């Protein structure tokens, strides 16, 4: 399945750091999470919970304490947690390994300045990720430009605080978005 097809039914992704946030999903229509700022010891527990609750788990790889940034860490993660749907990372080799392991590889591009954008575009062209995670997610014009330049789903994440932000992001070309604001998990 292509990520674009998957995201058509999963437009809002919950960015989750704790079990308390994970439990806030109950009663919402959200069935996909990006696990961020956790630790290696908690990943297996999150994966087990997600599998039991039919929640699709994406690991924000660079933000999990205890993972090395080597490609072997991706294979090890998938041995521990075979239900992981995808990896989100700003490391090209991690994205390549995720794709090689048969899961989604989503490249994160941090739009801090025009140099960062240019470097990110070079990586995207070289890696051909399944998706582009743009942070911060409220950079509408850049999202619009990336969604026009590449036939790859663009996921906005970070600093998304209002329903108006969500509407503007989708209007700008975002395929989906990730937010930790539970009141936006519609």
* pLDDT one-digit tens code per residue, 39-53: 888 899 999 999 999
| Structural domain for 58, as ranges | 3-184
Q: How many domains does the chain have?
A: 1
pLDDT(147) > 90: yes
The CATH code of the domain that includes 64 is: 3.20.20.70
pLDDT(6) > 90: yes
Using an 8 Å Cβ cutoff, are 103 and 135 in contact? no
Candidates 74, 88, 91, 81; CA nearest to 55 is: 81
Give the chain's end-to-end CA distance (angstroms, integer). Answer: 24
7-33 confidence digits (pLDDT tens): 999 999 999 999 899 999 999 999 999
> Residue 30: its pLDDT value, please?
96
pLDDT(70) > 90: no
Query: What are the C-alpha distances in Å from 127 to residues 52, 94, 101?
Result: 33, 10, 15
The DSSP output letter for 68 is -
> Residue 130: its pLDDT value, please?
98
């Amino acid at each position: 399945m292509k990520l674009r097809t998957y995201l058509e039914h999963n437009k809002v992704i919950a960015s989750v750091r704790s079990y308390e946030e994970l439990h806030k999903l109950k009663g919402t229509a959200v069935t996909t999470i990006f696990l961020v700022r956790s630790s290696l010891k908690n990943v297996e527990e999150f994966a087990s919970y997600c599998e039991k609750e039919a929640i699709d788990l994406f690991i924000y790889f660079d933000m999990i304490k205890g993972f090395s940034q080597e490609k072997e860490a991706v294979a090890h993660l998938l041995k521990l947690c075979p239900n992981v749907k995808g990896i989100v990372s700003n490391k090209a080799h991690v994205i390549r390994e995720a794709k090689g392991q048969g899961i989604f590889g989503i490249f994160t591009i941090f739009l801090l300045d025009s140099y960062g954008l240019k470097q990110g575009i070079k990586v995207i062209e070289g890696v051909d990720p399944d998706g582009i995670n743009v942070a911060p997610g409220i950079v509408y014009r850049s999202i619009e430009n990336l969604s026009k330049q590449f036939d790859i789903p663009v996921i906005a994440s970070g600093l998304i605080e209002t329903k108006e932000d969500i509407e503007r992001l989708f209007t700008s070309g975002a395929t989906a978005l990730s937010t930790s604001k539970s009141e936006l998990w519609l």
